[in-house]
Amino acid sequence: MQLSEAVAGYLSHLSDVRRLSPATVRAYRADLADLILWVGDRPLGEVGVEDLREWQWQSAKSGQSKATAARRASTVRGLFAWAVEEELVGVDPARRLVSPKRGRTLPAVATTDALDDVLTAAAERAASGDAVALRDHALLEVLYGSGARVSEVCGLDLDDIDHDRRTLFLRGKGGKDRVVPFGLPAARALQAYLVRARPVLQARRVEASASLASGSRHDGRGSGSRIPAREAGAATRPHERAVFLGAKGSRLGPRAVHALVSRTVAPSVGADVLGPHALRHSAATHLLDGGADLRSVQEILGHASLGTTQIYTHVSAERLREAYRLAHPRA
């Protein structure tokens, strides 16, 4: 089997069997495409450890970070481990591949006071009754209040909210779903959005669809070009059930959430650009600071490994050291 054929099979395995996220599969695909470009599309069994080491060395010379180099090494090890399991090769050359040790970087975290200011300002904007402002306030409260990933919040449907228990059903990475709680401020902001703003945003999509249909009739396409009722319902259902809608009434996407967080939260941590993950980092750190145990935080965040959650204990330790340095007379 050629290397390219093996890569195609492995990527299908990652997507269909392991159910990794599309973004993760894209990263693996890019890494393996670069490997094929470097070693050539030769038979899989002819790729040796020296080829892989040379590929690593060339990548290191190009200035890639240790995290990227470690991911690429992990990608190749995964490919050949799968190939051995599928009996495509008898020997795994990637087992002898050494990946660089990743440097541990602490995530950007906003203080509770800073986030209180951000959310208070968002609530004041929402008080105007503007539909987008109401949505943004609810979105920020839900992101921080639940510790959810941006993809999970954007993927929320109306049936995923249990208002009585104040919980969200989240569709996590790799098909690992979970139920997480959210607080009273998020509940109030979410209710205000759903009652006062979401119908307004949804109406914009209905109006746009009606206008498009009218234009189609005037263009002379007539009823023959219309989508049958069943197909039309299937096409619009994802938007109709979405909790968070964009300004035009479609399901809100991660880019719009990223822009919102950068605009509203980034200044509070002194950053020029900040992604929605910063609210997730902040929620985890504040939970630990408030006395939550690590295992509970792991469950809320949906981490497969407790080791992934432990980075937040380092963030809290950094705060502890800073408090000690400022307050202790012999620090």
Residues with catalytic function: 149, 173, 277, 280, 303, 312
Residue 240 has a CB neighbour count (10 Å cut-off) of: 15
Distance CA 116, CA 145 (A): 12
**Closest to 107 measured CA to CA, from 320, 315, 287:** 315
Distance CA 75, CA 250 (A): 35
At 5, the amino acid letter reads: E
The DSSP secondary structure of 225-265, one letter per residue, reads GSPPHHHHHHHHHHHHHBSSB-TTSSBPPHHHHHHHHHHHT
- DSSP secondary structure code for residue 170 in this structure: E
Residue 10, C-beta contacts closer than 8 angstroms, at least 6 positions apart: 28, 32, 78, 79, 82, 83
Angle at Cα 324 formed by Cα 322 and Cα 327, nearest 5°?
110
Question: In which element (H, E) is residue 168 found?
Answer: strand 167-170
